[in-house]
Structure formats: C-alpha cells, structure tokens
Amino acid sequence: MERRLMTWRFKPLGAGMWADIPSEEIKQIFQPLFESAGRPAEMAVFMRQEEGGLHCEWFAYFSPAAESAAKAVEAAPCERPLREGLTLLAGRDDCWSVLFGDM
C-alpha cells in the first residue's frame, strides 16, 4: 500500500509546440481535482523537455498525490524525476520543497 502512494507517473506530450495541447488538457483535468483536494502542496504536475531521436520531446510528471489526474490521461508509473530542468505545469509554487526537499 505504501509503495502505491509513492508512485510518480509520466506522460509523453509530444515535440515542440505539439506539447501545448496535451499540457492544457492536463491542466483542465488537474485543476478541479486539485481544488476538491484542498490545494495540497504535494499535488503537482511538472514538465520537462528531454532529448531523444530527431526531436526533443516534452514529458509531464505527476506527483504521487496527483494520481487521479495521472490515471485520467493514462500516465505510466515511473521513478521520481530529477528536479533539474523541470517546470511547474500545475499546482502550488511551494510544492518544490515538499516534493524535492530544499535544493
């Protein structure tokens, strides 16, 4: 049970400007879930551009508390991403220290 609660999830968003559409869809799914949960700092979605193949691709990373939103977009389980290069897509600005510690 504890392991399930600590599972991060990720979702490929596409390359370049094509990542805008799925990232907006994620925000629309996430926001009402976030509000109904009381806007917890540990509930967040991040984005990072990663190199691979011919193009750089964007990925969304869902914190464990954002599991409902992650499952709604069929995001796959993964390890916690490295903080480097992440940007906050949805959630509170103070989520960084809660999810990644004081770096």
Domain ranges of the chain: 2-100
Whether the predicted pLDDT of 60 surpasses 90: yes
Residue 4 confidence (pLDDT): 45
pLDDT band at 72 (very low <50, low <70, confident <90, very high): very high
Short-list 66, 82, 70, 2, CA closest to 34: 66
pTM of the predicted model over 0.85? yes
Residue 43 confidence (pLDDT): 98
Q: What is the mean pLDDT of residues 43-58?
A: 84
Residue 103 confidence (pLDDT): 55
For the stretch 10-36, pLDDT in tens is 999 988 767 788 889 999 999 999 999
pLDDT band at 54 (very low <50, low <70, confident <90, very high): low
Residue 18 confidence (pLDDT): 72
Residue 1 confidence (pLDDT): 35
